[in-house]
Amino acid sequence: MAESVNAQTLVGEIVMNHPEAIEVLMSIGMHCLGCPASQAESLEDACAVHGIPVDQVVEAINSRIAAAQ
């Protein structure tokens, strides 16, 4: 499976293009998905702010995207 999302994908792009990933982000504490700053932040930067390993989040999001297809 090719990755749909990677560490450099912007949070805003994830929310807009993969709404099924919102539940994953919310479940790990990223509750400000609509905030203007988060829209232009990479997933890697957002994970760093929240102290979460980006690789685990990328894997969880891509699994959710694959399951939704």
The CATH number of the domain holding residue 17 is 1.10.3910.10
The reply to whether 41 falls in a domain is yes
The reply to whether 43 falls in a domain is yes
The reply to whether 6 falls in a domain is no
Which has more confidence, 2 or 38? 38
The reply to whether 29 falls in a domain is yes
Is pTM beyond 0.75? Reply is: yes
Q: Tell me: the pLDDT tens digits for 38-63?
A: 788 999 999 998 899 999 999 999 99
Domain count across the chain: 1
**Which pLDDT value is given to residue 1?**
47
Q: Residues 39, 42, 48, CA angle at the centre, nearest 5°?
A: 115
Which residue range is the domain that position 40 belongs to? 11-68
- Work out the mean pLDDT of the chain and round it to a whole number: 90
Contact 41, 10 (CB under 8 A): yes
The reply to whether 1 falls in a domain is no
Query: Distance (Å, rounded) from C-alpha 40 to C-alpha 36?
Result: 7
**Which pLDDT value is given to residue 3?**
63
**Alpha helices by DSSP H, the chain:** 11-17, 22-27, 36-39, 43-50, 54-68
